[in-house]
Structure 1
Amino acid sequence: MESWHRNRLSVRQAELVEAWLPGVSLVTDLSWNLLDTAILEVADAADGQRRYIVKAAGPSNHHISREIDAHESWVSVWSRQNRAPMLVQSDRSENILVTEYLDGSLVEGTAAEYCPDTYQQAGYLLRIFHEQTARTDVDYEVRATAKALSWLEKPHRISKSQVEQAKAVLGAYRPKPVVLVPTHGDWQPRNWLIDGSELRIIDFGRYDLRPAVTDLCRLAVQQWKSHSYLEGAFFEGYGTDFRDSELWNLTLLREAVSTAAWAYQVGDPKFEAQGHRMLRDALGNFS
């Protein structure tokens, strides 16, 4: 078997790709190298111009399954407009999927990252994604709060005083039923592409049904924090600022705790530092 996958895939995963795309060749390895997820841009042997993205991971990685869920449920609202990639093949048992390659450059690190039109489009695209279905869940907030508390019991570098503050806030919270909608889970410029002036969406490894506000956390603590005009542009596209102050503040706190702890565990110091900034700001909402 050709070694185009350079040991990124298991033998069985490579066999599946060869069966789906005979004679495929590697174009670029796009893997992040933090987890065991392989992200490979490949070309079709019959037509070198036709490219695909192969995503695969080990058996304990849940991101591929979530991505398949997203493609099999709600991503088509974007992919029909060429705003997200189409699913080509997948195998849940082997934790692998293939999508069509989507033209465009990552928004993060470019002028588009601070362009109001980017955020107006992001607001519109997120609204049509959120609007596809909704259901009330009486236990979601209980589960989410318990998960945040569990992060504080795992290895991290959060200070003792902040741990105590976070536990006090989370312990005093009385969860209520919330409405869940399809969410991307990592809605930010590193998962957006710009092709000309058109915004496109990638990476559904954190897809799930959650409260809509959870998709705003990344932007609120990053781009909106330093460039507030982008927040206004986003809600112009979305249509309304739907944040409830109590749920929003609790969501930011839980996100901060999980970010700081998770980033420490996977060895991402930059993201960990962001998590600590988020935690400081989130706790300030309760002081």
Structure 2
Amino acid sequence: MNTLLRDRLSAPQAAWVQQRMPDAVIVRDMSWHLVASIVLHVRGSLGGETIDAVVKAGDVTNHHIAREIAAHTRWTHDLVSTQHSARLIDADSDERVMLFELLPGALVEATNAEWETGTYTQAGALLLRLHSQDRRMDAEHEARANARAIQWLDGEHRVTPAIATRARGILADDPAPPVEVVPTHGDWQPRNWLIHDGVVRVIDFGRFAFRPPSTDLLRLAAQQWRGRPDLESAFFEAYGPDPREPDRSRISALREAVGTACWAHHVGEERFEAQGHRMLAEALRAF
């Protein structure tokens, strides 16, 4: 068994990879090291040829692997067909490990492309393709999302008591009406986009779920679109009408802020935690 694979993966996960790529070696560790997820660029033989691939694996606490497998089982096919998302080669949900083709490109985040309108025109078109695949009504989504945000506030965080109390009260009093939901990425932002020869591609469906379409805009609105209406306009030129409905968007923004501040504290990401506190202050001003 390859020692490097064994060092980064569980023994069953490493064995699973080597059953498919017997001579696989790690080229680069691409993990974020913030959550219980390992992402490895590997090279080895598959089907009689040497290829570059991506191994993604998680431990028993990782719930993102199951979501990503679900996404690739049905909902990424359209994007994969045009090479705008990676093809899933194989996966084992019990062992929480996946093998993908390696897409060309570098992360858009922290490059010039992060601030170019053309990037957002492409991102808008890609998100429209994902969202357009299905629409359904969900009578329980908003209640579940509110409960999850309250659960974050009931845990360990550094949100001030006054802000936490006000946020909890708004969420508890929300009528949580039925909403229309679509297949969403869950983390639609430049850190999950690749760019190569000017073409934007999408990675990491670990937060995939059916949600209101506006939820895929929350992180862009809190980050790249702040002070850059040109980027927002470029996005909607391709995506179409803005799906954000004022009343529900206020609640969504509040939940996103709570989750950001609390999750970032949980994983020790202070910069992102500070962003969450800013988002919380801004979200509460809307009420």
TM-score, normalising length from structure 2?
A: 0.97
**Alpha-carbon distance, 1:6 to partner:** 5.3
- CA distance in 2 between partners of 1:242 and 1:117 (Å): 21
1:101 Cα offset (Å): 0.1
2:14 paired with 1:23: no
Q: CA–CA distance in 2 between the matches of 1:249 and 1:232?
A: 20
Shift of 1:176: 0.8
1:241 aligns with 2:250: no
Report the secondary structure of 2:86's partner residue: coil
Q: Deviations over 1:218-264 (max 9, x none)?
A: 00000001322101110001011121001111000001001111111
Distance in 2 (CA, whole Å) between partners of 1:212 and 1:182 is: 8
Deviation at 1:47, TM superposition (A): 4.5
CA distance in 2 between partners of 1:2 and 1:141 (Å): 46
> C-alpha deviations, 1:160-191, integer Å up to 9, x for none?
11112112221221111101110000000000
State the alpha-carbon separation in 2 of the partners of residues 274 and 160 from structure 1.
18
Q: How does 1:33-112 map to 2 (within 5 A)?
A: 33-45=33-45, 47-48=49-50, 50-112=51-113
Say whether 1:136 aligns with 2:137: yes
Q: Secondary structure at the match of 1:93?
A: coil
7-16 vs 162-171, which deviates more?
162-171
Alignment correspondent of 2:212: 211
Partner SS for 1:120: helix
Question: Aligned equivalents of 2:237 and 2:6: distance in 1?
Answer: 45
Q: Where in structure 1 are there 5+ consecutive unaligned residues?
A: none
Partner amino acid, structure 1, of 2:223: Q
Q: Deviations over 1:173-214 (max 9, x none)?
A: 111110111000000000000111111000111011111111
Query: What TM-score, normalized by structure 1, do the two folds share?
Result: 0.97
Q: Contact (CA 8 Å) 2:2, 2:24: kept in 1 or not?
A: no
Whether the aligned pair in 1 keeps the contact of 2:150 and 2:168 (CA below 8 Å) is yes
Partner residue, 1:260 = 261
Quote the sequence identity (%).
45
Take 1:177 and 1:145, find their aligned partners in 2: how far apart are those partners? 13
List 4+ stretches of structure 1 deviating above 6 A.
Answer: none
Residues in 2 aligned to 1:167 and 1:153: alpha-carbon distance in whole angstroms: 9
Give the paired residue count. Answer: 285
Structure 2: 5+ residue stretches without partners:
none
Contact 2:116 2:231 in 1 (8 A): yes
Determine the C-alpha separation between the residues in 1 that align with 2:227 and 2:15.
47
- Cα distance between partner residues in 2 of 1:283 and 1:193: 33
1:155 paired to 2:156? yes
